[in-house]
Chains A and B, each alone.
Chain A
């Protein structure tokens, strides 16, 4: 079965640079979620989108922005990167925001900021 696809899997950036992560949800899933997991931490919710509109927002820095496109894929843009942004970034998708249901996670994108 198709899963959530994230790219790139690994990314190394310098401080103050910009990074973009991409997420392709499971086919027919219209809701996408972004999570950040720092070293030794549990995943923290950043932001979610339903039908290309932002549906919820968590502890996402102002330097970060995200959007969902017409094909339901999503991109997380991170600017002015800081050392503390080094983390594993997960994308998840679910069938519909209207129905409480299971979230399926991608394999994550590991960002290292030097």
Chain B
């Protein structure tokens, strides 16, 4: 099956710093989403981005489907950005299932 790898696995930032999280996937995809899992366990949708670039406030994301990667940019980080960031993809084979395969996540800690 498709492999979804995220890097770095862990990241510690000072408040106000910028960061880039990467998601590599091993096969074509129909769908790609970025999620933030907060310390209470809630999975929050950040971006639905099978291709192209999107921005939402301090966050932006870019997916280059032909090269099988996506990037999540966090600017001017805040302590509330702490948590785990997941990339999840729907494989492009087997027809439309909308089933998401999650990556291993990046654990982000933003220190005041």
Contacts and interface: CB of A to CB of B under 8 A. Distances in A.
A58 interface: yes
A27 interface: no
Interface residues of B, number: 23
A108 interface: yes
Interface stretch (A15-23, A68-76, A77-85, A93-101): A93-101
Of the listed residues A48, A55, A99, A100, the one surrounded by the most CB atoms of chain B closer than 10 A to its CB is A100
A75 B90 CA distance: 23
Identify whether the interface residues of A are mostly helix, strand, loop, or mixed: strand
B99 A42 contact: no
B110 interface: no
Contacts of A100: 30-31, 50, 90, 96, 98
A99 B41 contact: no
A45 B98 contact: no
B66 interface: no
A42 B86 contact: yes
A89 B48 CA distance: 22
Interface of B: 30-31, 33, 35, 41-43, 45, 48, 50, 86, 88, 90, 96-105
Interface of A: 31, 33, 37, 42-45, 48, 55-56, 58, 88, 90, 92, 94, 97-105, 107-108, 110
Given A42-B105, A92-B100, 12 more contacts: A31-B98, A43-B88, A48-B99, A55-B97, A56-B99, A88-B41, A99-B96, A100-B96, A101-B48, A101-B98, A102-B31, A105-B35
22 contacts: A33-B100, A37-B41, A42-B102, A43-B86, A43-B88, A45-B101, A48-B97, A48-B99, A58-B99, A90-B43, A94-B98, A97-B96, A100-B50, A101-B98, A102-B31, A102-B45, A102-B48, A103-B88, A107-B42, A108-B41, A108-B42, A110-B41
Q: Which 7 A-B pairs have the closest CB atoms?
A: A102-B48, A42-B102, A105-B43, A100-B30, A43-B102, A56-B97, A94-B98
